[in-house]
Amino acid sequence: HKEIKELQEEIRRLAEEKNAVILAHYYQRPEVQDIAHFVGDSLELSRKASQTDADIIVFCGVRFMCETAKIVNPTKKVLHPNPESGCPMADMIKAEDVLRLREKYPDAEVVAYVNTTAEVKAVSDVCVTSANAIKVVSKLESKRIIFIPDQALGNWVKKHIPDKEFIIWQGFCPPHFEFTAREVLKLKEIYPDAKVAVHPECHPKVIEIADFVGSTSQIINYATTCDSNRVIVITEVGLLHTLKKKNPNKEYIFPQSMNYCGTVYCCTMKAITLPKVYETLLKETNEVVLPEDIIQRARKPIERMLELS
């Protein structure tokens, strides 16, 4: 514990010395969340990254989040403490796939979940996050929507906007697809007074059971303030850290998993560790570099999202 505390203090000291801001997603390890100047969902983190006047952004999240920070604030040095930390869902579609879909459906608008590579964003019309997808898509004029890459979020949006036609890419989030309706219903049987909060990356059958569906921040807000003292939380277990901090008086139930950790776990998010953050900031390594034309083209759909939400 002493080592962790010392490392945390040293990272914060370095951040101050170098005028760096540390941003972290809620799925990060608790000890990493604790050194961040700001912890948030994808939308809040991209807003923070676009507004910061720090010289360096240390982004504790997966690659697409770091790329988004670079795209919205390209003059900053964006550092990714572990360049191998990617999002498997983001890698389930390539720019060529999007171009092929565009050719097939020339009248459609391409809606890209932010969980995509910068190259994919560069050939998309608008981005969305789990916090604003319904709002953004409902404001689009096109009757036909190509939704990439998450089938679960795509189906959730489609359900709310029945007057549009959706072509949905069949990508998915491996950790969120681990949750089953059967286990959530079982938990509801054990805790009949509990409310169920679900991330929209979950399978539609799991979403059907939910009392609340939203982004990580929205789930935290709902779970800590709803009228039930027990909440079944169906998303990555990293949320527990903030839930306990924000409202320790409630009980938060996360389903058990068959994997070795016992809970559903995004291993690439957890691939960022305190020593890696320290090394990266100290040596200013692992800089996120993107070609200038990709930055220019990928910025448009992100800015459009920020305007529409």
* Contact set with ligand 13P (CB under 6 A): 41-42, 115, 129-131, 173, 201, 215-216
Question: Is 124 in contact with 110 (CB distance < 8 Å)?
Answer: yes
With b meaning 16 or more CB within 10 Å and e meaning fewer, what string describes 99-134? eebbeebeebbbbbbbbbbbbbbbbbbbbbbbbbbb
Q: Is 266 annotated as a binding residue?
A: yes
Which does residue 198 touch among ligand 13P, ligand SF4, none (CB within 5 to 8 A, set by kind)?
none
Closer CB to ligand SF4, 146 or 269, in the complex: 269
SS3 39: strand
Percentage helix, strand, coil, to 5, in the chain? 45, 15, 40
Which does residue 41 touch among ligand 13P, ligand SF4, none (CB within 5 to 8 A, set by kind)?
ligand 13P
SS3 15: helix
Spatial distance between the Cα atoms of 266 and 147, rounded to a whole number of angstroms: 23
Which does residue 88 touch among ligand SF4, ligand 13P, none (CB within 5 to 8 A, set by kind)?
ligand SF4
Q: Radius of gyration of the chain from Cα atoms?
A: 19
Q: Which of residues 117-156 bind ligand SF4 (CB under 6 A)?
A: none
Closer CB to ligand SF4, 71 or 264, in the complex: 264
- The only residue of 269, 277, 295, 302 in contact with ligand SF4, by rule CB under 6 A: 269
Closer CB to ligand SF4, 20 or 202, in the complex: 202
x-marked contacts with ligand SF4 along 32-71 as a string, rule CB under 6 A: ------------------------------x---------
> Please, what is the minimum distance in Å from the beta carbon of residue 273 to ligand SF4?
16
Read off the tokens for 222.
């709902």
- Residue 165 pairs in a beta bridge with 144
Q: Which residues bind ligand SF4 (CB under 6 A)?
A: 62, 87-89, 115, 173-176, 201, 236, 266, 268-269
